[in-house]
Amino acid sequence: MSQKTNSLKQLALQKFKKNFWGVLSFYFIALVGLISIFAYVFAPDNSQYANQMHLAIHSKQPGFKVQMLTIPSKITMNQSLIDRVFFGRKNTNTEVPISEYTITEDELVYKEFASDGLQGAEKELKLNIFPNNSPKEYIEHKTFLFGTDKYGRDLLSRVLVGARISFFIGFVAVLISLIIGVTLGSIAGYFGGKIDALIMWIINVTWSIPTLLLVIAITLALGKGFWQVFIAVGLTMWVEVARVVRGQIISTKEMQYVTAARALGYNDFRIITKHILPNIMAPVIVISAANFAAAILIESGLSFLGIGAQPPMASWGAMIKDHYNYIILGKPYLAVIPGLCIMSLVMAFMLIGNALRDAFDVKS
């Protein structure tokens, strides 16, 4: 006899695999996930927060090329490889965009880059500050694929590093919302009565406060910053999860296999965790995907308002905030590129949520 088993989970997975947009979104999200983890490996500017500024070449168009002179710093940083890969190089080298240079016996003479037809100042450097007295290795052509922002930082690197915030905020917020929401929702739904009334009251109160206001309140209470936003968004999202879980549990509770579990003498914890929760995971997963997308949007909104991630940290929302007035100044790409990033990631999560919902729908 065949030993093959078809659990509902596997059936749902098979169905999901057939959904083109779902699978595409899944790969896109996986790609963004990888990028956000290894952002500093991919980014051309791997300094911490991609924060290498060159004010002379601020807000240049995508594909801008320039010669770049790196002046090595005398301070040497002792940074481990892991630290550098995951958190960026704590760089102290100075980078100077130049238009031309000559090397004399003991000096490097270069002309600073200046845009809009201006002449840059000519400066000279002693050759002995370069190792081996050869400055050639320190002068190279640099291309800014996405152009530069208003501080002359590489926009591509900022976008890559900024993906990390967007991605992790979704992750942490969904995790927090699941822990609180599933726990409270199950307790309310399973036990009912006064406990249910109390939890529903908390839910309704939290629900009635506009999300953005609540996040602002929480950020103010916990202080500004990266982690505070994560927690704040998570604390506002559990409400939705709790409501869905509660509703699902109330209807699943009436199923005969739950009565059967009670008749077999299982305790409440076992019934909830082993017999009810696995059966209501589908809507919870779907709402988590939507929450993921919503968290990204809320974070962008908060960063745009200036209470999200703080400079110099790169965040898509903050990038739009920095550059939205360039939209009418003929340099829309500075705001449009991070905007497109937010849109595509949110859309991927929405599509994956839809695909999951279809896959979990066992009826058809």
Please report, as ranges, the residues that interact with another protein according to CB under 8 A: 1, 3, 5-9, 255-257, 259-267, 270, 274-275, 278-279
Question: Cβ closer to another protein: 261 or 293?
Answer: 261
Q: Are 106 and 84 in contact (CB under 8 A)?
A: no
Question: Cβ closer to another protein: 1 or 75?
Answer: 1
User: How far apart are CB 63 and another protein at their closest, in Å?
Assistant: 51
Distance in angstroms (rounded) separating the CA atoms of residues 154 and 139: 17
Using DSSP's 3-state secondary structure scheme, residue 38 falls into coil
User: How far apart are CB 259 and another protein at their closest, in Å?
Assistant: 7
Using DSSP's 3-state secondary structure scheme, residue 363 falls into coil
The structure tokens listed for 326 are: 């360039």
Order of strands, edge to edge, in the sheet holding 139-144?
122-126, 107-112, 94-103, 64-71, 139-144
User: How far apart are CB 355 and another protein at their closest, in Å?
Assistant: 20
User: How far apart are CB 208 and another protein at their closest, in Å?
Assistant: 24
- Tokens 């726990």 -> residue: 183
User: How far apart are CB 288 and another protein at their closest, in Å?
Assistant: 18
Q: Produce one character per residue of 41-74: b if its CB has 16 or more CB atoms within 10 Å, e if not.
A: eebebbbbbbbbbbebbbbbeeebebbbbbeeee
CA 222 to the chain's CA centroid: 21
Residue 286: phi and psi, rounded to 5, are -65, -45
Question: Cβ closer to another protein: 100 or 268?
Answer: 268
The structure tokens listed for 219 are: 């950020």
Q: Are 206 and 218 in contact (CB under 8 A)?
A: no
User: How far apart are CB 205 and another protein at their closest, in Å?
Assistant: 24
Of 167, 142, 149, the C-alpha closest to 35 is 167
Q: Are 303 and 318 in contact (CB under 8 A)?
A: yes
Question: Cβ closer to another protein: 120 or 283?
Answer: 283
User: How far apart are CB 252 and another protein at their closest, in Å?
Assistant: 10
Question: Cβ closer to another protein: 124 or 361?
Answer: 361
